[in-house]
Structures are given as structure tokens and as C-alpha cells.
Amino acid sequence: MEHKLKNALAAKKQTVDKSKKLAASLVAAANKQFKDDSFATVASAMQASDVKIFVPSSIKALDVLVSGSISKGFPTGRIVELFGQEDTGKTTLGCLLLRNVQRIGGVAVLIDTEYTLTSDRIATLGIDADSLIAVNESSVEDIFERIVFILRRVGDRAPCVILWDTVAATPTKTERSRKFDEYSIAAHAIAMSRGLRRIAKPLSESSTLLVLCNQLREGSIGNMYAPEREKYATIGGKALKFHSTIRLMLELKKKLTVTQGAASGKKIPFGHLINAVTVKNKQGVPYGTALLTLQTRGVPQFNDAMSTLKTLDAWGVAKVNSTGRLEVNGHKLSESSFVHKFDTDINFRDAASSLLESGYKKMFKDTPETEDDA
């Protein structure tokens, strides 16, 4: 039996070696014929487009959702589309990526076509305004020209995040040149499609993460029985859906309130519980979900501790019992105790983060055991 196994392995190796020689011969002959290096084996050709750097979001539950690891996050060399209804944290999340790329020594570029970001909000979110580059262009075509310039200039020498906020608010040159009562059929979608095709290759070879915030419009699907999220569509045509490595939808699950004063019992809104869904994800599991807590009083910010807590509960790693206490690894903690320990105890935070990774694997990656497997 052992002798037959050795012979089988040797025969397999000979077959693989023969295949490698044929492939190398074809590549050499083709490049000689066409006088360029357009042919290459995948092992060598795809190294240029491999993800070299990940940019964290500072929301551990979200980093695990999009990459499967708390040490990764959002991949450079790729396009990420953030979309959802208003007031769900799209701009806030994009700004966190700008801040974090600065913290790892990279370049942050902001293209704000909604003209709503203020210096106070930028400062509160921890972004260094002195090194934040603002691109003041107002048409889709001109913005893509600037993106191409940035990709060529930065290349893979340093990590870079470009935040375009938003695609939906950016007109085309045709729209800018016409009157309000003149329409251009599909001009926006055509401009987006051309621009995305042009940047696809240089972006994949760079260390730049292109984040495109987008809006939703109603009435795109006329089926009244369709699921709620399918009754809306993003702006910019279908090209963005195909070119994006990650499409992250942020949807409002419920509004969060706190009671002001035991006597009055008055409830005051302080934030939103956001359901983050990876509608498309080539770096991890598609249609994964995580629950994020967005604090909306003052400058909107995501709460990492609360987001971890809510996601652990949603993924079944930790359960909130009927008394409102969290049961995790045999320990019972109140919500406030969990948040305090998460914020102040690094060992507790690391343990909770590890639970996120194991919960993600159990929830989305493990294959359920069937009766035949048992």
C-alpha cells in the first residue's frame, strides 16, 4: 500500500511539473511574439494586485465582519461602497477610515460633494485637518481624473484612503451644462462606468482604498411584496456594484433612548442601533451582519464597546438574559459593566475581540452538521 501511494505521488508530481513547463513555454513564446509582457502565470501576475495593507475602522465588530479578523479591516487596492438611508453613519464611518489611515502613516483624501462636513466634526472625529487633502471638484468626470492622478502619484508607496461623499450628490459635466428642465438619460451611470473601468487596474496595484458613499432611492422595484431592502436602489448604475469588492449597507434597526430622571421617566434619544450588512464581500462572507451603536448626540460617533456587545449577542456568543445581564464565558455582567471593562481593561477588550472572531466563524463560516455527517 505504501509503495502504491509513493508511485501515485510521484506520478502526480511529474504531471504538475509537465504542466508548469508547458505554461512557462507558452508565456515565453507569447511575450516574444507580441513583444511585451502581457502574458504571465497567475502566481507572478497577481502579486501586484494582492491586498498589502488593511485599514481598520476602530469598530472591531465591523472589522471582523468585512475581513474575518480584528487585525485587518478594509482592504487597500479595492473599492468599498457604503450605502443606506440617511442618518445611518455612512459619512462617520468613512471619516474613521480617513483618521485611521493617517494614524498608520498614510494619506487621507476627502471629496465632499455634499459640502456638509465641518471643521468641528473633522476635529472631533480625530482627523488631522492639516494633512487631510480636500479635492474640490464637482463633476463625476473631473473627480475620476483626480483619482487617477492620486493613484499614479502615491502608487503602493504608502497607504491611502480616498473618501468620495457622495456619488449620488455628484453631477456629470452634461448635467452641469444643461438647464434644470433638460434631462440626460443614464448620463450619471455612463460616467461612473467609464471612470471605474479606467481606475480598475491602477487601483488594484496601489495601496489606496477608495470609499464611495452612496444614497438610496425608492421605487426602483415595483413589487410591493419584495423585502424592504430590495425596494431601494443605489445611484450610479450597475457598474459600481460590479467593481466594488465590498458593498456595505447600513440600515436603521431601531432608535436608542435613555431615561432622564427616575421621577419624570422622560426618554431622550441618544443614538441608533445600525444593522451593517455585507451585501457583497470578496474579502469575507457575503450577507454577514453585525449590530453597531451610533451615538447621535453631538457629533455622531460609533461606540466600539456597545457595538461589540450587541454583535456578540446577535452572533450567539454572549446572551443577554431576562434581567438585562450579559452572560459570556460563564460570567454575568451588566451592560454598563461590560462597557466599562471594555474601555478600561485591555485584557478584557482583547478577550471580547477574540470572541468576535470565534463567533464570526461559528455564525457565518462553519458548515452545519447534517444527519449524514453525524
- Give the residue among 101, 117, 118 at the shortest CA–CA distance from 109: 101
Distances (CA, A) of 146 to 154, 164, 211: 12, 12, 15
Given pLDDT bands bounded at 50, 70 and 90, which one contains residue 109?
very high
pLDDT of residue 142: 97
pLDDT of residue 369: 44
220: amino acid identity, one letter: S
Distance of CA 204 to the CA centre of its chain: 16
Q: Which long-range contacts (CB under 8 A, 24 or more apart) does 366-372 make?
A: none
22: amino acid identity, one letter: L
**Average confidence (pLDDT) over 114-131:** 93
pLDDT of residue 176: 84
Place of cell 508607496: 157
pLDDT of residue 9: 72
* pTM of the predicted protein model: 0.86
**Average confidence (pLDDT) over 316-335:** 72
pLDDT tens digit sequence for 43-90: 766 566 688 899 999 999 999 999 999 999 999 999 999 999 999 999
Given a cut of 50, is residue 338 above it in pLDDT?
yes
Q: Which domains are present in the chain? A: 49-365 (3.40.50.300)
**Average confidence (pLDDT) over 263-291:** 90
pLDDT of residue 327: 72
Per DSSP, 76 falls in state T
